[in-house]
Amino acid sequence: MTVNETNQHTAEAREPARTPEPPTQAPSPRPGLTVRDALRAERRNDRWVAAAWAVMMLAGFAMPYVLAAYPLQLAVQGTTMGLLAMSIGWLMRQTGRMSFGHAAFYGITAYATANLANHTGLSPLAAVGLGVLMGAGAAVVVALLTVRTPGISFAMLTLAIGMLIWVWAGQTPSVSGGFNGLNVTFEGDFLGRPAAKLINPVNAWPLAWIALMAGMALLWCLSRSRFGRRLTAIRENKERTTFSGHRTYPALVLAFVLSGLMAALAGAVSVLTTSFVSTDSLYWSTSGMALIVAVIGGIGSVMGPPAGAMAFIALQASLSASSHYQVVLGAVLIIVVVIAPGGAAELVKRTARTGARYLGADRHA
């Protein structure tokens, strides 16, 4: 059916609202556009996003052939930070909650994996698996405690919990390596290759890239699922959602845990690709920086935060000699917040929409 046809129907149907004479017979005539049609129209852009993702996924594997070792090393760092930024950005978009505590899940996973690999005979894969489980387990505990608290108090609660863990790590050098950090010796294979060799970016890249792309796909699908829509509803109007018969607490806990799981995954990728962990990974500014790059990249899209992270790593590397990256970063952040809320992703979306309209796509009735 065409959208034009629908419009005529509904325009007629709306007329009676203006006249005091009510229609006498019930049931009233139905306009052509149904809820299902409207939803389908909204989802029409999704296949383009999915296609873009698939192209990007494949193109990503070519990176080691294009980039030299140092830029590739930076790109691996970018995926790690991108995963963390994505987890924090997704939580913020879906629940309106800003977490300063995700560094804890990131750091706990990295430390757990490192200690398991160093002190037990576990294979790297098992160590990483257990490490991620521990990071996610910590997320469960934090979620149960904090998600009821809205707004800035939530940010402060997660900050407090994250900092307690940081203090503990700083005071427990046997686990954390103190302020010098902890070197990890992986022995054995990880997914068919010697884990110790992952420190070489050429070996690390496919792993990091797959993790990022899988995380991205997962969060994107979640955002579009019924669960994702319910989360959006809770963020938008919690009271109404309760009065629509939906329990908000379990949904928020689950969202936080999924996001924490993604942060744990970032920690796992980090420790595998660097063979090193330091207490800085637990400090609140690790969450803070990830949050900032997420906002610059745009939290409205799952692709935004990783893009922001990549851009940040590149910027930091290119300006590291002059050490002025802070002023650039700060200025970019201010500009994004003031004139382009929604970040780079929103700008791209708007451009794409304008382009689509220009090409005559029937996006809007």
Contacts to other proteins from residues 288-347, by CB under 8 A: 288, 291-292, 295, 323-324, 326-327, 329-334, 337-338, 341
In the bound state with other proteins, the residue whose beta carbon lies nearer, of 245 and 360, is 245
| Contact positions with other proteins (CB under 8 A) in 96-115 | 96, 98
| Contact positions with other proteins (CB under 8 A) in 42-81 | 42
In the bound state with other proteins, the residue whose beta carbon lies nearer, of 104 and 127, is 104
Among 232, 316, 352, 356, binds other proteins (CB under 8 A): 232
In the bound state with other proteins, the residue whose beta carbon lies nearer, of 183 and 244, is 244
Neighbour count for residue 298 (Cβ, 10 Å): 26
Kindly determine how many residues on this chain lie close enough to bind other proteins according to the rule CB under 8 A: 85
In the bound state with other proteins, the residue whose beta carbon lies nearer, of 170 and 188, is 170
Kindly give the interhelix angle for 69-95 and 248-274, rounded to the nearest 10 degrees.
170
> Could you identify the residue written with the tokens 């920690």?
267
Where are the strands (E) in the chain, listed by range? 182-183, 189-190, 193-194, 276-277
Contacts of 165 (CB under 8 A, 6+ apart): 104, 107, 108, 138, 282
In the bound state with other proteins, the residue whose beta carbon lies nearer, of 171 and 320, is 171
Q: What angle do CA 28, 29, 34 make, to 5 degrees?
A: 110
Among 236, 250, 354, 361, binds other proteins (CB under 8 A): 236
Kindly report each contact of residues 176-182 with a partner whose C-beta sits within 8 Å and lies 24 or more positions away, as own/partner: 176/111, 176/277, 176/279, 177/277, 177/278, 178/279, 179/278, 179/279, 180/278, 181/276, 181/277, 181/278, 181/279, 181/280, 182/111, 182/114, 182/115, 182/118, 182/276, 182/277, 182/278
- Under the binding rule (CB under 8 A), the answer on residue 26 touching other proteins is yes
Q: Parallel, antiparallel, or unpaired for β 276-277 and 193-194?
A: unpaired
At residue 278, φ and ψ (nearest 5 deg) are -130, 165
> Could you identify the residue written with the tokens 């002190």?
119
Q: Quickly count helices (H) and strands (E) in the chain.
A: 17, 4
Among 120, 183, 285, 351, binds other proteins (CB under 8 A): 285
> Could you identify the residue written with the tokens 């792993």?
207
Q: What torsion do the CA atoms of 305, 306, 307, 313 make, to the nearest 10 degrees?
A: 110
Site map (CB under 8 A) of other proteins, residues 184-223, x = contact: ----------------------------------------
CA distance 255 to 144: 11
| Contact positions with other proteins (CB under 8 A) in 122-161 | 145, 149, 151-153, 155-157, 159-161
Residues 147/275, Cβ–Cβ less than 8 Å:
no
| Contact positions with other proteins (CB under 8 A) in 260-279 | none
- Under the binding rule (CB under 8 A), the answer on residue 174 touching other proteins is no
In the bound state with other proteins, the residue whose beta carbon lies nearer, of 92 and 303, is 92
- Under the binding rule (CB under 8 A), the answer on residue 353 touching other proteins is no
In the bound state with other proteins, the residue whose beta carbon lies nearer, of 46 and 187, is 46
In the bound state with other proteins, the residue whose beta carbon lies nearer, of 101 and 201, is 101
Nearest approach, Cβ of residue 196 and other proteins (Å): 35
Site map (CB under 8 A) of other proteins, residues 28-47, x = contact: xxxxxxxxxxxx-xx-----
CA distance 109 to 265: 8
Nearest approach, Cβ of residue 215 and other proteins (Å): 23
In the bound state with other proteins, the residue whose beta carbon lies nearer, of 63 and 108, is 108
| Contact positions with other proteins (CB under 8 A) in 5-24 | 7, 9-11, 13-14, 16-20, 22-23
